[in-house]
């Protein structure tokens, strides 16, 4: 359709470019004879009739000549403008093809896997949990909404393209999970430790310092002592409901502590 429209516009442009030639021919055919006749009459009047007859002839013949010439000039100029504007008319845009459902589903699946990795990295890192305790606490509304949205998308995920209808449901669920994760993370950054009492906040900060020592110390005995004290403090905070420590984070902490033990 676009090709046919382009051919039609080119033919229209060629016809319009040819019109000024016809207009100039009309101008010559109309104006030149009138000018010759008028000139002949003026010469004869000047030779035989004197100045009075010359003035009379000019007053009669002059206006028609000027009118015909002005009309032909105006028509010719209008044709040229029309031809120029016709040559710059843009071709109609070809409508964009709708996105393929399988490709949309594949991109949504990649984004969801990236979200799952980010969520798992937080849940497996005790230090990250202590810095953002609200992000692991389903009592916080934004975190609860994310957990529900993530579970819904996870239930709809499939290894192969499941068909347009099921794929569309998964894409919507993955989008909701992404938006809910951003909202929960922003809320956790705002909350931090603000909901804790002074003593509870001091306990959390003490555990953070112990984990920092256990991670950075070169002394094996100091690392073992810091891990043991950190685990003890975290168990108390978890039991009191001050900080919810995910099982994956507790397991990562135990693994790090065992890895620090000297080989037998």
Domain residue ranges of the chain, discontinuous segments joined by + = 1-93, 103-119+136-191, 193-264
First to last CA, the chain: 80
- pLDDT at 135 (0 to 100): 97
* C-alpha span between 137 and 251 (Å, rounded): 18
* C-alpha span between 58 and 192 (Å, rounded): 101
Q: Each residue's pLDDT tens digit in the chain (264 positions)?
A: 555 665 666 676 666 555 554 455 555 545 555 555 555 655 555 555 555 555 555 555 555 555 555 555 555 565 556 545 544 556 677 788 889 999 999 999 999 999 999 999 999 999 999 999 999 999 999 999 999 999 999 999 999 999 999 999 999 999 999 999 999 999 999 999 998 999 999 999 999 999 999 989 988 889 888 998 998 899 899 999 999 999 999 998 888 877 644 443
Take residue 59 and report the two structure tokens written for it.
């007053």
**With contact defined as beta carbons under 8 Å apart, do 213 and 193 qualify?**
no
Average pLDDT, the chain: 79
- pLDDT at 261 (0 to 100): 44
**With contact defined as beta carbons under 8 Å apart, do 240 and 207 qualify?**
no
* C-alpha span between 71 and 215 (Å, rounded): 95
Single pTM value for the model = 0.63
């Amino acid at each position: 359709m676009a090709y046919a429209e382009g051919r039609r516009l080119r033919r229209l442009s060629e016809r319009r470019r040819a019109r000024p030639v016809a207009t100039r021919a009309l101008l010559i055919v109309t104006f030149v004879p009138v000018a010759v006749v008028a000139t002949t009459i003026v010469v004869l009047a000047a030779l035989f009739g004197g100045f009075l007859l010359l003035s009379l002839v000019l007053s009669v013949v002059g206006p028609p000549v000027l009118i015909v010439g002005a009309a032909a000039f105006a028509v010719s100029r209008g044709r040229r403008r029309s031809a120029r504007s016709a040559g710059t008319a843009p071709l109609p845009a070809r409508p964009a093809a709708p996105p393929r459902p399988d490709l949309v589903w594949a991109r949504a699946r990649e984004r969801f896997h990236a979200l799952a990795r980010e969520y798992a990295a937080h849940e497996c890192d005790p230090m990250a949990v202590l810095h953002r305790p609200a992000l692991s606490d389903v009592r916080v509304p934004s975190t609860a909404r994310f957990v529900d949205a993530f579970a819904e998308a996870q239930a709809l995920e499939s290894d192969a393209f499941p068909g347009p209808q099921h794929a569309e449901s998964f894409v919507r669920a993955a989008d909701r999970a992404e938006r809910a994760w951003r909202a929960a993370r922003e809320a956790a950054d705002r909350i931090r430790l603000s909901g804790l009492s002074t003593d509870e906040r001091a306990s959390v900060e003490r555990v953070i310092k112990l984990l920092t020592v256990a991670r950075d110390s070169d002394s094996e005995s100091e690392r073992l002592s810091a891990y043991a004290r950190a685990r003890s403090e975290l168990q108390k905070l978890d039991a009191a409901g001050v900080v919810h420590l995910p099982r994956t984070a507790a397991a990562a902490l135990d693994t790090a502590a065992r890895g620090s033990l000297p080989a037998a």
